[in-house]
Amino acid sequence: MSKYFYLILIVFLITGWIYVYKSHLDRFNAPVKKTTLPVQKYTDITSDELKEMLKNKDFYFVNVHTPYEGEIENTDAFIPYNEIDKNLDKLPKDRNAKIVLYCRSGRMSAEASQKLTELGYTNVYNQILGMHDWQSKGYPLITK
């Protein structure tokens, strides 16, 4: 009896394996969907690089953080990151003009920078890690 039991068990296991294999075969052979992320066409800069750039400021400087949580000295405009495309009149008309964006942590300014490059701006800079990093380097913030 035990010989037959083991034989039935082996047949059952092989049959189960074949069933699972065939049921998942479509998934194994399905084409892989490739997702593409937007190409980053703006330049990331550090707080130290921004500090150096501010010594001889030759760019339009925009705080895109919402709500207002402070600013870096010499900021030219305040435009919410999610409304940057609706406020192009507040930006330089020349789409080749140098524009530097910043926010509190860097996420909002990265989104706004990407949007500007998609709209044809060619000289866009994003301060990575935002005002958090700026302050951590010992640089002052203006708060109203």
Q: What is the CATH number of the domain that holds 51?
A: 3.40.250.10
> 12 in a domain, yes or no?
no
Q: Is residue 17 part of a domain?
A: no
Position 30, amino acid: A
Domain that holds residue 63: 43-136
The one-letter amino acid code at 31 reads P
Residue 6 within a domain: no
Residue 14 lies in a domain: no
45-75 pLDDT per residue, tens? 999 999 999 999 999 999 999 999 999 999 9
Residue 50 is assigned to a structural domain of this protein = yes
80 or 36: which leads in pLDDT: 80
Strand partners, 63: 78, 102
| DSSP line for 43-93 | EEE-HHHHHHHHHT--SEEEE--SS---B-TT--EE--GGGGGG-GGGS-S
Give tens-digit pLDDT for 7-28: 777 777 788 777 777 766 666 6
In a domain, 108, yes or no: yes
Is residue 122 assigned to a domain? yes
4 in a structural domain:
no
pTM reported for the whole predicted model: 0.75
Do residues 134 and 141 lie in contact, with contact meaning Cβ atoms separated by under 8 Å? yes
Q: How many domains is the chain built from?
A: 1
Quote the CA–CA distance of 72 and 142 in Å, as a whole number.
Answer: 6
Q: At 1, is the pLDDT very low, low, confident or very high (cuts 50, 70, 90)?
A: low
pLDDT at 5 over 80: no
